[in-house]
Amino acid sequence: MKILISRKIDIREVEKNIKKIIPNINLTLNKETIEVSGFKKGVIYDYIPRIKAIPGVKKIDLEINEIMPLISEKNFHFNKPFKTKEKFIIAGPCVINDFNEFRETLIELINLGIKTVRTPLFKPRTSPYTWEGFGLKGVKNLREIKNEFDFISVMEILDVRVIEKVFDVCDIIQIGARNMRNYILLKETAKTKRPILLKRHPHSSLREFLFSAEYLAKYGATKIILCERGDSFSDGDSSLNIDILKRIKEDFKIPIIVDLSHAAKNTRRIFYFAKKIKQIPHGFMVEVSKNPSSSPTDTNQILNIEGLKKLLEIIK
């Protein structure tokens, strides 16, 4: 960590003030900077607001590994229940709205070689008047299907109180974009040790996104997948933050995927985005159903099976 000091202030005064705030620290004084070392990574962030407020402190430069030691240094790829280093696709309905239809969709997905399947029972909705999925009432049906077929289920969890109740039907816990900053949910899901798929909240910065992942890592998650899903919810424009996507792919050892459906908002743009960025992510998420028009949610952005085949051709 490096602190830039104003020339008008006696650097020794600043040194004294820093020592009052952080005990047992090594400070090296240069002409206009103070180099700080010997601190505990991560915890140093707790002192920053007070250091910033010291008269004469102009700027503080922190390396990413000094504030997020786990996410910046550890490897979060995994081989079980599937290999994140081999291009993978998570496909399935926006919400399970009919178990027979879901079953038929699942058979098609399995026939196409897709092993990781969206199984949403809980939907966070913008309007409180709209359907929120089968919820816990759907667990029994999903369990029956899970016992019948061999696939990895990916399910969004909104509420810490349901974790135990869905544990056998949820192989990968999805933290939705709205909950990226729900730190209680991040901690509790991380403690389960299940793989966690964390979606970026629209307009959140790379730093905020990574801090949420750092929460997961600090509370026990060793298998993490990050997901870029664009900068707007249902009514906004379609978008994708390619810069964040590239930076995570290049600078971190964490699998990152793109959710084509929620980024694109309509099936036509799913193909456009897929062509544009297909080389970058480790994998993709896409909404697929045998009968998209029956979905009460996100109807325009759900591919049918033909559409999925076309997408698989593009990204193979």
Question: Segment contacting ligand PEP (CB under 6 A): 101-109, 170-178, 187-195, 236-244?
Answer: 170-178
Give the separation between CA 23 and CA 26, rounded to whole angstroms: 9
From candidates 139, 142, 169, 177, binder to ligand PEP by CB under 6 A: 177
Letters for 244-283 (x = contact with ligand PEP by CB under 6 A, - = none) are: ---------------x--x---------------------
Residue type, 291: N
3-state secondary structure the chain: CEEEECCCCCHHHHHHHHHHHCCCCEEEECCCEEEEECCCCCHHHHHHHHHHCCCCEEEEECCHHHHCHHHHHCCCCCCCCCCCCCCEEEEECCCCCCHHHHHHHHHHHHHCCCCEEECCCCCCCCCCCCCCCCHHHHHHHHHHHHHHCCCEEEEECCCHHHHHHHHHHCCEEEECHHHCCCHHHHHHHHHCCCCEEEECCCCCCHHHHHHHHHHHHHCCCCCEEEEECCCCCCCCCCCCCHHHHHHHHHHCCCCEEEEHHHHHCCHHHHHHHHHHHCCCCCEEEEEECCCHHHCCCCHHHCECHHHHHHHHHHHC
Letters for 197-236 (x = contact with ligand PEP by CB under 6 A, - = none) are: --x-----------------------------x-------
CB of 316 to ligand PEP, least distance (A): 23
**Taking CB under 6 A as the criterion, which residues in 88-117 touch ligand PEP?**
94
CB of 162 to Mn ion, least distance (A): 19
Residue 302 or 305 with smaller CB distance to ligand PEP: 302
CB of 204 to ligand PEP, least distance (A): 12
From candidates 22, 94, 139, 175, binder to Mn ion by CB under 5 A: 94
Q: Which does 229 bind (CB under 5 to 8 A by kind): Mn ion, ligand PEP, none?
A: ligand PEP
Letters for 115-144 (x = contact with ligand PEP by CB under 6 A, - = none) are: -----x------------------------
From candidates 214, 231, 259, 298, binder to Mn ion by CB under 5 A: 298
**Taking CB under 6 A as the criterion, which residues in 44-73 touch ligand PEP?**
none
CB of 157 to Mn ion, least distance (A): 15
Contact 153, 182 (CB under 8 A): no
CB of 228 to Mn ion, least distance (A): 15
Using CB under 6 A as the binding rule, whether residue 176 contacts ligand PEP is answered as yes
Give the separation between CA 148 and CA 141, rounded to whole angstroms: 11
CB of 262 to Mn ion, least distance (A): 6
Find where tokens 């900053």 sit: 181
Residues found near ligand PEP in the complex (CB under 6 A):
94, 120, 156, 176-178, 199, 229, 259, 262
Q: Which residues lie near Mn ion (CB under 5 A)? A: 94, 298
